[in-house]
Structure 1
Amino acid sequence: MARITATVFTSHVPAIGAAMDLGKTQEPYWQKVFAGYEYSRQWLKENKPDVVFLVFNDHATAFSLEMIPTFAIGTAAEYAVADEGWGPRPVPKVQGHPELAAHIAQSVIQQDFDLTLVNRMDVDHGLTVPLSLLCGQPKEWPFPVIPFAVNVVQYPVPSGMRCFRLGQAIRKAVESFDEDLNVQIWGTGGMSHQLQGPRAGLINKEFDNAFLDRLIADPEGLARVPHIDYVRDAGSEGIELVMWLIARGAMADMAGGAKPSLRHRFYHVPASNTAVGHLILEDNG
């Protein structure tokens, strides 16, 4: 059967992608950010998955304000890189895994979660920046990706608990797939940041690090945090962190198994106008 072997959590700041694309990674401002991912790149080479299930949020490229699904799973064979207003990033198109994606959709919907199936979708920085951070700048991505888009842009947004429970359902779906696959779940977005209004530029280091602590040690308790707490303490865009709960809910200890092993933790302020957070947890079955 397929199995989940690890979860990766990371911010997906668009300026990080621009820094890579423009060759600025060694400039003093960016050097510390990218140094925090050096271990992760080596870890990924040594722990290369067969498929990555990548949780992200679309930034009005695949979906407009006319139609925003709460949860959308990409079931296509490939995904073009979106033009976000200044041309597509110079990165490879993303190869999908339609068979596993269709199986997960079938299983999760039968577990009473409503998903939107997307057979054609351009993917923006929410998905490509995490790939760049962990994979560098290859001619092609080293594994297929199943994009899983979550609405954290237009209210109402899903609760942390619903995201957490969805992660548990995704684990059951993966484990019921009858092909021997090594699957990683990536949760992206966050950390604390606000892009507009009187609190634009807000960063809350205390909240961010407490979130990382609880994500490791008390994810189910963390899932009970109401969305208004994210908005108040982490800024209007801090709500993106509920997407990390999908990935964390998919780990073995949330299904009665062993606790995961922490392989890497990194936190840095600032990167553009936000904080950068990153964790790697290995699943111990």
Structure 2
Amino acid sequence: MAKITAGVTTSHVPAIGAALDNGRAGEPYWQKVFSGYEFAKRWIAEEKPDVVFLVYNDHASAFSLDLIPTFAIGTGERFNPADEGWGPRPVPGVEGAPELAFHIAQSLILDDFDLTIVNKMDVDHGLTVPLSLMFGQPDAWPCKVIPFAVNVVQYPPPSGARCYALGKALRRAIESFDGDLKVQVWGTGGMSHQLQGPRAGLINAEFDNRFLDLIVNDPEAAAAIPHVEYIREAGSEGIELVMWLIMRGALGDKVDQLHRFYHVPASNTAVGHLILKGAA
């Protein structure tokens, strides 16, 4: 059967992608950010996942106010980088895993989660920046990727509790797949940040680090955080952290923390990153 071998969380700041794409990774400002992913690059080169189930949010690239799915799973064979207004990122296209993706879709829908099945879409920085942080700048991504988009842009987003429960159902779905695959689940986005209004530039390191503690040691408490607390403490875009709970739910009750990194600022946001494995 397929097996979930690890979970990864990371921010997906668009400016990180721009720094990589424009050869600025060695500058002192950005070097501090990328240094936090050196362990991850070495680790994942040894782990060699077959598939990454990548939870992210679309930024009006594949979806718009015309169509807002709460949960959307990419079941296609290939997903190309989106043009977000300044051309697509110069990164490889993503090879999908249609057979596993459709099995997951079927399992989750029969487990009473309403998914939107997407056979064709482009993927933006929310998905490609985490791949760049973990794998560097290869000619082709070294594994298949299942994009899983969550609406955290237009109210109402799903609750943390719903995302955590979906992660548990995702584990059941993956482990019931008849195929010998090593699967990682990534939760991306966050941490505290706000992009508009009087609180633009908000960073709350105390909240961020408490959330990192909870996601590792007390995911039930993290899942119980209400929308209003995310907005008040972590800014309007801090709600992206509910996507980390899908990853955490997929790992089981207890985990071992292999790596933790937190840094401010990267552009006008806080960057957080974890690598977790289910405890034996």
| Same fold per superposition (TM over 0.5) | yes
- Which amino acid counterpart does residue 147 of structure 1 have in structure 2? P
Q: How does 1:61-140 map to 2 (within 5 A)?
A: 61-140=61-140
Q: How does 1:82-231 map to 2 (within 5 A)?
A: 82-231=82-231
Choose which of 259, 263, 278 in structure 2 pairs with 1:268: 263
Structure 1: segments with no counterpart, 5+ residues: 254-258
- Which amino acid counterpart does residue 15 of structure 1 have in structure 2? A
Structure 2 distance, partners of 1:181, 1:251, is 16
Deviations 1:156-180 (A, max 9, x none): 1100000000000000000000101
**Contact 1:268/1:277 (8 A) holds in 2:** yes
Shift of 1:46: 0.7
- Give the 3-state SS of the residue equivalent to 2:202 in structure 1: coil
Shift of 1:284: 3.4
Deviations 1:82-108 (A, max 9, x none): 000000000000000000000000000
1:15 equivalenced with 2:15 (yes/no): yes
- Which amino acid counterpart does residue 230 of structure 1 have in structure 2? Y
Structure 1 distance, partners of 2:127, 2:278, is 22
Structure 2: segments with no counterpart, 5+ residues: none
4+ runs of 1 displaced by more than 2 Å?
none
Identity over the aligned pairs, expressed in percent?
Answer: 73
Choose which of 264, 267, 277 in structure 2 pairs with 1:282: 277
Deviations 1:47-78 (A, max 9, x none): 11010000000000000111110000000000
- Give the 3-state SS of the residue equivalent to 1:130 in structure 2: helix
Shift of 1:134: 0.3
Kindly report the root-mean-square deviation, in angstroms, between the aligned alpha carbons of the 2 structures: 0.6
- Which amino acid counterpart does residue 270 of structure 1 have in structure 2? P
- Give the 3-state SS of the residue equivalent to 1:192 in structure 2: coil
Shift of 1:220: 1.0
**Contact 1:56/1:243 (8 A) holds in 2:** yes
Deviations 1:221-258 (A, max 9, x none): 110110100000000000000000000000132xxxxx
Tell me which residue corresponds to 2:58: 58
Shift of 1:283: 2.1
Deviations 1:178-219 (A, max 9, x none): 101100000000000000000000000000000000000000
- Which amino acid counterpart does residue 220 of structure 1 have in structure 2? E
Shift of 1:44: 0.3
- Which amino acid counterpart does residue 137 of structure 1 have in structure 2? Q
Structure 1 distance, partners of 2:221, 2:37, is 28
Aligned residues: 280
- Give the 3-state SS of the residue equivalent to 2:271 in structure 1: strand
Structure 2 distance, partners of 1:15, 1:222, is 28
**Contact 1:5/1:284 (8 A) holds in 2:** no
- Which amino acid counterpart does residue 134 of structure 1 have in structure 2? M
